[in-house]
Structure 1
Amino acid sequence: MTRHLLWRGMLAGLIGAFVAATFALLFAEPRIDAAIALEAAHAMPGMAEPELVSRATQKGFGLYTAMMLYGTALGGLLAILFAALHGRVGRTSPRGLALMLGLVAFLVIVLVPAIKYPPTPPAVGLHETVRMRTGAFFAMLTLSVAAATAAFMAYRRIATQQPLDRLLIAIGLYIAVVALLQLLLPKIDEVPADFPATLLWQFRLASIGTQGVFWLVTADLFGRLVEPRLSATTLRSWQVAS
């Protein structure tokens, strides 16, 4: 069964990535072009670095290739998590469980790290701190996933019989751990004072929106692909349990 779920998850992730890449091409890439043009306008003559990969390639073939590889991998991960949790989260339908996992993934992988380290256009930031900024972001991402895993384990082990109470305690634990981690991790703010605030926020919303589109499309499509196969089995198990 897991093998059948896995290829459906990878297919859903591939399609979700294609849709998300198209969203990024329409909404995020124009903001990147504007930021690069702004940087070029303020650069000293002769200081411009050679372009190793053209912008046309970056926002065409490069964008779609990177997003679809990313989406296929995360779609497979979604399928594995779904296989582990299906039948163990109340009487949630397959599509409902897939959408719930997609929402949790968006919050834990995208939104929470972005609160500490929001996305910025490539033209923003010092070249000397690229490694430090990248390391800090991936540390926040890893710790967010670890905190979510710990919260889920706590949810499973809490003695109370009230599912809502267990859920609220687990969510509170996750928020507390993440808040502490965000206080401990270094603060990074290298956006120039004269950088247009509207352009910055449009880019950030488009970047987060791209990830939101990916997880919504991937989770919903995966749920639709697996629901016909699993709904009858799930219904029979509920009837036996009743």
Structure 2
Amino acid sequence: MNSAIVRNLLVRGMLAGLGAGVLALVVAYFLGEPNVDSAIGFEESHAPAHEHEVELVSRGLQSTAGLATGILVYGVAFGGIAALAFCFALGRVGRFGPRATALLLSGAAFVAVYAVPFLKYPANPPAVGDPDTIARRTTLYFLMMVLSVLLAVAAVIVGKRLAPRLGTWYATVAAVAGFLVVIGLAYAFLPTVNEVPGDFPAALLWRFRLSALALQATLWAGFGLVFGELAERLIHPRPAAVPAGAAAASPQ
């Protein structure tokens, strides 16, 4: 793949990430923000009466411009990175076209980058978590994410090496099984973090975590669909349509 195509795919990946970010923004605003507001209300109702922090950025600005900026910038950034990963993966993970490769890459990235760490260290709303342990919790989360990504890459490599001997199906099953076993061991040995207050509404916590999962799923699925179409049109352009009049006037 030459540098011009890589550059064009990078631009298309960032555009696809922006489009996926718009879809994720809709999900975050209508599904996530009401739960954030409820969690903030719970936190304020349990704060000491004399405790009042100065609000540097209004809640209205956070839930609109701030939310949009964060998600769209994230979408553009991860879209560019995913496009570069697509350039490397195309033709190396099987006989898949650009659309299928983009969807496969998006699904694998969603699982490895978000879903696996999320199941061990799920997202928490405001009022959940000790401020004194935020550094430890962040470190554990990123450790789980890096481990998940490295194991996913290792599973792909092992699957490709086993394919000539076991066949594609059994090699894939063996690679996925190995990935799940090692991830299970990581879940067992890494420390568990549970700082949810005993009186925090379980339904609110469940809705918040589901909305966080839905946001990421929308982001990755939207990127896979949009970028797959853009990459397909770049790599396999459709032949230009011949006008009917020109076809009729052409010599026989």
TM exceeds 0.5? yes
Tell me what 2:186 maps to: 181
Tell me what 2:227 maps to: 222
Tell me what 1:239 maps to: none
1:207 equivalent to 2:212? Answer: yes
Tell me what 2:67 maps to: 63
Task: Give the AA of the match of 2:223.
Answer: T
- Name the stretch that deviates more: 142-151 or 204-213: 142-151
Distance 2:140 2:213 in 1: 18
1:195 equivalent to 2:184? Answer: no
- Name the stretch that deviates more: 160-169 or 187-196: 160-169
SS of residue in 1 equivalent to 2:19: helix
Please give the per-residue CA displacement for 1:65-123, whole angstroms capped at 9, x wherever unaligned. Answer: 11111111111121112111212333322111111111111111111111101111022
Task: Give the AA of the match of 2:228.
Answer: G
Q: Could you tell me how far 1:174 is from its partner in structure 2? A: 1.1
Given that residues 93 and 231 in structure 1 are in contact (C-alpha distance below 8 angstroms), is that contact kept between their aligned partners in structure 2? no
Report the aligned-residue RMSD.
1.5
Distance 2:62 2:22 in 1: 15
Aligned length: 233
Tell me what 1:18 maps to: 22
Q: Could you tell me how far 1:161 is from its partner in structure 2? A: 4.9
Tell me what 2:83 maps to: 79
Tell me what 1:147 maps to: 151
Distance 1:92 1:150 in 2: 20
Distance 1:188 1:91 in 2: 42
Distance 2:127 2:200 in 1: 10
SS of residue in 1 equivalent to 2:55: coil
Tell me what 2:13 maps to: 9
Larger Rg: 2
TM-score (norm 1): 0.92
Structure 1 residue ranges without an equivalent (≥5): 234-242
Structure 2 residue ranges without an equivalent (≥5): 239-252
Distance 2:17 2:226 in 1: 9
- Name the stretch that deviates more: 10-19 or 52-61: 52-61
Q: Could you tell me how far 1:41 is from its partner in structure 2? A: 0.7
Distance 2:78 2:71 in 1: 10
TM-score (norm 2): 0.88
Tell me what 1:89 maps to: 93
Tell me what 1:136 maps to: 140
Given that residues 5 and 79 in structure 1 are in contact (C-alpha distance below 8 angstroms), is that contact kept between their aligned partners in structure 2? yes
* Residue in structure 2 matching 1:101, options 105, 117, 126: 105
